[in-house]
Chains A and B, each alone.
Chain A
Amino acid sequence: MSRLSPGARVRVREDYPPGHIRTPVYLRGKQGVVERYFGAFENPERLAYNLTGPKKDLYKVRFRATDLWPDYQGSPKDVIEADIYDHWLETMG
């Protein structure tokens, strides 16, 4: 059972640790909505050091382009979606 369900409002952790981080910097601290749950995958932050386990839940998170870029040129319906591991997501009220 995954911690988050589709529709859950989340915020990407605003954190800048060293290492092989697959959470893009442009999304850190940004709010989005869980679009779907993909399953549990090896954590790239450990794989980079040839370490495996424990697996991390992976979600597709949807961000409104206008939330990411205040001066966004396009439709307010436009979204950016990225695949974010569970430990990078904080739940919102």
Chain B
Amino acid sequence: MNSDHHHHDHDHDHDHDHPHAPPQPDDKVHSYYQILSIALKELLIEKGVVTAAQVRQFIEKRDSITPANGAKVVARAWVDPAYRARLFEDGNAAAAELGFPITGTKLVAVENTPDTHNVVVCTLCSCYPRDLLGLPPAWYKSRAYRARVVREPRAVLREFGTELSDDVALRVHDSTADIRFLVVPQRPAGTENLDEDALAALVTRDSMIGVARI
């Protein structure tokens, strides 16, 4: 593969101190599959299948989906037992109720309780409830997380700062097919007086993947 580096001028803002070399994202060598993906995009645009604007709009729409959407689903489930029941019965319909349509995959909510903790992975690639939570964090796609969380999940959780006692059963969900999993964390004690918006603000991305509690 051609690895022709360009030595561009460092004229970007660089007013913070750090000892390492400045990041140069544009200088990295593309992998085979990155080049394939760029070539495919360019061909689809050249052939008029999609326009560059449509590609940009799609990326912009994807990037507008954030874990705050999932947090609203969790908070509603905490305050509304009927909604909670609907969420476990049909995740897609429950998410759509709050204005978050999920297409092409089936959303399944799994609930953390005092006895059971759930954590989600995709060992084969990077399946993630993107329609609800947005793009997954980089570590979720890393080979280390994907390989280790099914092999030594408690050690992985410990590295995230989550200690589980041995009387809590751990369930690792490997998203190998058409199902996307949303962990519904336990509602923290002492939040009885918080309203739904304040509760949603407590719900983090990592708690909905299951590597953290709230």
Contact = CB atoms under 8 A, between A and B. Distances in A.
Interface of A: 22-24, 26, 38-39, 41-42, 44, 58, 60, 65, 68-69, 72-75, 77-85
Q: Rank and list the top 10 A-B pairs by shortest CB-CB distance, nearest first.
A: A77-B169, A83-B177, A82-B174, A78-B170, A75-B166, A74-B154, A80-B172, A41-B178, A83-B176, A82-B176
B167 interface: yes
A24 B123 contact: yes
Interface in B88-138: 106, 108, 123-124
Name which of A26, A42, A80 has the most chain B CB atoms within 10 A of its CB.
Answer: A80
A44 B171 CA distance: 25
A79 B172 contact: yes
Contact of A44 (B151, B154, B170, B177): B177
A81 B177 contact: no
A56 to B, nearest CB: 9
A79 B178 contact: no
Contacts of A68: 150
B170 A38 contact: no
Given A38-B106, A39-B106, A79-B170, A24 B176 contact: yes
5 contacts: A22-B177, A26-B123, A38-B108, A83-B178, A85-B177
A79 B179 contact: no
B179 A60 contact: yes
A80 B174 contact: yes
A1 B173 CA distance: 25
Name which of A42, A72, A73, A78 has the most chain B CB atoms within 10 A of its CB.
Answer: A78
Nearest to A79: B171
Given A39-B106, A81-B171, A73 B177 contact: no
A53 to B, nearest CB: 15
